[in-house]
Each structure stands twice: as structure tokens, then as C-alpha cells.
Amino acid sequence: MNNKNKNRENKSKKIFILYSLIVLGFLLFLGAMLITTLKPRDLPSLYTKESSKAIRGSIISADGFHIASTIKLYKAVVNTHYIDPKKRELFIELFSIYSGIDAKEIKEKIQKKKGVVVLSYNIPQKQAQYLKQLAYELRRLDVFVERKNPISGKTSLHGLNIIESGESREYPYDKLLTPIIGYPHKIEDDGYTYVKGVKGIERKFENELQAKQDELRQGQRDVNGYIILNKNSFTKPEIEGLDVKLNIPIALQLRVEKMLDKMKIELEAKEIMTAVMDTKNGHIIAMASSNRYLPKSIQKSDYPSLNSSMIEYSFEPGSVIKTITFALLLDKGLVNPYDLINGHNGRFKIGRKVITDEHKFDWLSAENVIVHSSNIGIAQLAQKLSGVQFNQGLLDFGFSSKSTPDLIYEKVGSVPHIMKLENEIYKATCSYGYGMRANLMQLIKAYSVFNNNGRMVTPKIVECFVDNYAKEIMIPQEEQKQVIKSSTAHRIKKILIKTVDEGTGVKAQTDGLEVGGKTGTAHIVESKEYVNEYNTAFLGFSNDKQNRYTIGVIVVRPKKSQFAAQTAVPVFKNIIDILVEESYLKPDIIK
């Protein structure tokens, strides 16, 4: 009986213990559920946002080619701690295929450094899109594994990240149109590399070219982390910088630059520069220097070429100013083209200064002073101008003022003060281009007067701006100023044509075209003294029945010859030939 009671008692104890364990387990379960419920948790956000940087505008030629443009650059970043060791080789091979980077290089970077590794800083936009797709596929293939943070105790997963790192300015045509378009430099801002203009058009139109607004998108995300675009999402579109469209076509510019390169060698010159302007509207259709550089890889030897010599090289222009002096005299009725001037057999003294001519003349007509470029003749004629008339006349022709609104850092040169021009010696030397300074574009602007019925045209390199929707934003044309009477301009034009037909510009003759111009040669000043080196120039025009172009050429320090007729004039003639071959001029007997 006692054994039975003991067995019963033991059985009850077992049942009680089992029941207690079940109750305890249930209570522990409830406790765990309660703790889980009450404990703060980091839930994945249901919302996400994406941003994209807007880029700088392009510089475009008249015929639609991108001379300077911007591309986005991306960097590829991976945390090596999250790469599954068994799939490391798969990651390396796939990344190499998608990025084009050698697999050995990737492997070395991953082995060299543990943790966050930048696999590349300079991934172009197109490759970046492919790599973003690869990043998604790598997650799908479980190439990356979750890791627990020993400090926080949280688990996380980091894959391949493709991040915008900056922008790069690209110049597909290398040296084309430098130094006119200029160059930029890089600026770092919060880990992103921007470019900003330093010289030329890049600098002058910095405000128009720079990006206006970055893209921003935010809203609910799907399981892959992508934004769901619906009525609850928010999008701020990117507004890129305006494109700057030039009046210069790339085909013509290339030919002119190639010709200057050849002539620089032939003439043994330090530099040759030129510009061609449509006289009717001021559009610059070619503007070139023989001294150019690669904007993306500027060398120390390129430093002298970084300036736009067409506006930043100021010099004494020499005999091309004789035409301006004569025009002022003629416009004020102070001279008749047929007046006879004593040439003094090539040697004439004014005050203490002896003025000489390369060619000796006894007597010559006033207009032939221009045709045969007589220093003695123009020096005598200039005495008829008062200091006020001469000074104001030079100012009216645009000297000592900016020539174009489209370039920056122009050296405007100078003209002598009124009081100096009351002195007969200053008046004489200034009449043939000494004692004053000018640049090429000022001379072209001045000479446009003779090819445009007395009105002065402002050179325009930029035609318009183009916005993100391909809409052209036109730039207002500047009013053409009447500098001299139309009749005066017509007479000067005939004299310039005669200079090409009979005088110092005969090498510029072109059958079937109306060609006129004036030569100029001037000593170069160094350390306030004249040295035995020269600049030569030829300024003029070439016209057919429909088109009128004002053209200027400056040859800096030619060693082959000191005479413009043998240096600047042949370059001028080559430009006319190119204009004919490219159908900008159509020869026809029009005289």
C-alpha cells in the first residue's frame, strides 16, 4: 500500500514539474514577445531620395559641334568586409568586365586595403549606369553578406556603391579655338569636383555656363530601394548651364588655324593672329592664333599662349593707322585726294625728328600717300588736324576702348593726350601709328567703317545662348555708330582697293573679288626702347556681290622679312582663298 502511495506521489510530482516547466516556458515566451514589442527597433525607411548634379553648359560652333562640353565622373566604392570570400573572384571578374579596368588592378586594391576601398575615381557616366546595374545583380547573386557590428550589435549589408564624384571639361578638338575659348580650373566642394572658367569665353560667360539647379527626387521606395513615382513623390528637375553658341564654324576655323601654323614656320614668326568678320552684322566667322594649347594639359611652355592675343596683345600698329588719319582729314574737308604732297625724296625733318620713307618720292597725290604708304606724306597732312580733332577722331574709331563684349581681360591700348597731339612731332609720329597702342580686334572694328558706309561694327564671337529645351536666347545687337560720312568711307574704300591694285598690297589681289587693304610695319618696344624687330600687319576687306568681310592679320616678329607686303599680305591672301574654297565668297567680275 505504501509503495502504491509512493508511486502515486512521485507521478504527481513529475506531472507538477512538467506543468510548471510548460507554464514557465509559456511565461518566458510571453516575456520575450513583450520585450520585442516594447523594445525600440530600427525599421527600414519606407521613403528614400535621390539627387543628381546638374552640369556646366557647352561651347558650340556655328555648325553645331561641341568644342567644349562637360561629362560627369563617378567613383566606385566597395567595403571589402562585406564581400563573401567564396565569391571574391566573381566580384573582381564582373567589375573588371563592366568597368573596363584590369582585373589584376582591382585585385591589388582589394588586397592592399581592408574596409572601404575606392576602385576608381574617374568612371564616365555611361559606364556608371552599367555599374549601377551590376551593383543590383551582385546583391541578387549574394556576393555581399550581412555583417554584425560588434559595438552596436546591429547587422548591416553594404554592396557596391557608384557615387557622383565630379565633372570633367572635355575638348574633343584639342587645340581648336584656343586661346579664344579659354580654359577652366577645378574646384572641390564637399567631395564633388566642379570646373570654373579662368580665361576666354569659359571665364567671360561663367554665369551663363554654370549649372543652375541640381535634380532631386524623393518618395516611397520599392523592395529594391527605387523611388516609386506617383502623386505623393516629389521631383525637382535639374537645370543645366546654358550652352554658348558661337558665330564661328568649325570647318572654316580648322582650315585657318592649319594655314597659320604653316605660315608661322615659313615666316619664322613668333606668332600670327587673324580674324574675319562679317561686316554686315559683326559676326566673327574665324578668329585664330598660331599659338594654341591643349586646355586639359597645359604645360609650362604654353603659358605665353594662354592669353587671347587678339585682344590682350597691345602694340604700336604702324602704317595701318595712316588710313584712319587720312579718313579724319578727308571727313573734315582738310584734304583733297588729288592734292599734291612733297615727298622730299624720302627724307624730311620735323622739329628735331627726321622722318624717312622706304621708297623715295618727289611729289605724290594725297591718296597715293596711302597707296604707297608714305610716312613723310601723312606726317605733313596730319599737321592740318588740331590736337582735339586728332584725339577725338581716334577715340571715335574705337581706340582705347573695348572692341568686343564677348572676351575678357582686353588690353585697350592708348591714344596720345590732346596736348601731346598739339605738338607737331607727336602729331606726325601718331599719324603713322607710333606713340599709340592698339590690338587686332580694335583695328578690325576701325576698318569695318570703310567697308560699311562709315558705320562701325562691333565684333561678335557669340551668337546666342541655348537652354535645356534647345531654345535659343538671342543676344541683342549693338547699334552701329556712324563714325565718318558715307561719302568719306566710300572714297577711303576706293583708295584701299587701289592700294591692293597698285600699291603695297598687290599680293592680296584676287580675280573676281573686291579686295582692299593697308599694310603696316612697326618697330617693337622693349624696356622703353625700340629694338630691331617688327610687327607687321594688313587690315582690309574682301567682298563679292552678296558678302562683305573685314579681315585683319598681325605677324609678330617675323624673321623672314620686316615688310608687311612679304609677311602679313600673303597670310591675308591665303585667308581669302580659304573663304572662296569654303563658299563664303564667290568670285565674279564686279569692278
User: Residue 64 and residue 540: Cα distance in Å, rounded?
Assistant: 29
The domains of the chain, with CATH numbers, are 47-246 (3.90.1310.10), 250-294+306-581 (3.40.710.10)
User: Residue 274 and residue 549: Cα distance in Å, rounded?
Assistant: 13
Q: What's the average pLDDT block by block, 10 residues per block, for the chain (591 residues)?
A: 62 72 73 60 57 90 96 90 89 89 90 88 85 87 83 78 89 95 89 90 96 81 62 78 97 98 97 98 97 93 93 96 98 96 93 90 94 96 97 98 96 96 96 96 98 97 95 92 97 97 95 97 86 95 97 97 96 98 87 47
Provide the sign of the torsion angle of the four alpha carbons 223, 224, 225, 227, taken in this order. Answer: negative
For the beta carbon of residue 258, count every other beta carbon within 10 angstroms: 12
Closest to 357 measured CA to CA, from 272, 428, 276, 301: 428
Contacts of 282 (CB under 8 A, 6+ apart): 448, 457, 458, 459, 460, 477, 478
Write b or e for each residue in 398-417: b if 16 or more Cβ atoms lie within 10 A of its Cβ, otherwise e.
Answer: bbbebbbebbbebbbbebbe
For residue 116, the cross-strand partners are 79
Reported in sequence order, the residue ranges of 129-183 that DSSP labels E, i.e. its strands, are: 147-148, 155-156, 161-170
| SS3 at position 495 | helix
Contacts of 590 (CB under 8 A, 6+ apart): 512, 513, 514, 544, 545
pLDDT of residue 6: 63
Residue 193 CB burial class (10 angstroms; 0-12, 13-18, ≥19): middle
Residue count of the chain, please give it: 591
pLDDT of residue 238: 84
C-alpha cell at 277: 568678320
Which tens digit of pLDDT belongs to each residue from 212-262?
A: 998 877 777 655 555 676 767 767 788 999 999 999 999 999 999 999 999
Kindly state the DSSP code that residue 578 receives in the 8-state scheme: H
pLDDT of residue 394: 98
The H-or-E segment that residue 256 falls in is helix 250-267
Residue 126 CB burial class (10 angstroms; 0-12, 13-18, ≥19): exposed
pLDDT of residue 157: 79
Contacts of 522 (CB under 8 A, 6+ apart): 315, 316, 317, 318, 319, 433, 434, 534, 535, 537
Helices and strands counted in the chain (H then E)? 17, 25
The H-or-E segment that residue 50 falls in is strand 47-52
Yes or no: say if 56 and 211 are a contact pair by the CB < 8 Å rule.
yes
Q: Which strands sit side by side in the sheet containing 47-52, from one edge to the other? A: 47-52, 215-220, 234-236
Peptide bond into 587 cis (omega under 30): no
% helix, strand, coil for the chain, step of 5: 35, 25, 35
pLDDT of residue 2: 59
Predicted TM-score (pTM) above 0.75: yes
Closest to 310 measured CA to CA, from 476, 142, 147, 181: 181
Write b or e for each residue in 313-324: b if 16 or more Cβ atoms lie within 10 A of its Cβ, otherwise e.
Answer: bbbbbbbbbbbb
Going from the C-alpha of 557 to that of each of 258, 463, 554, 563, 572, the distances in angstroms are: 20, 33, 10, 11, 17
Which tens digit of pLDDT belongs to each residue from 482-525?
A: 999 999 999 999 999 999 999 999 999 999 999 999 999 999 98
What single-letter amino acid sits at 453? N
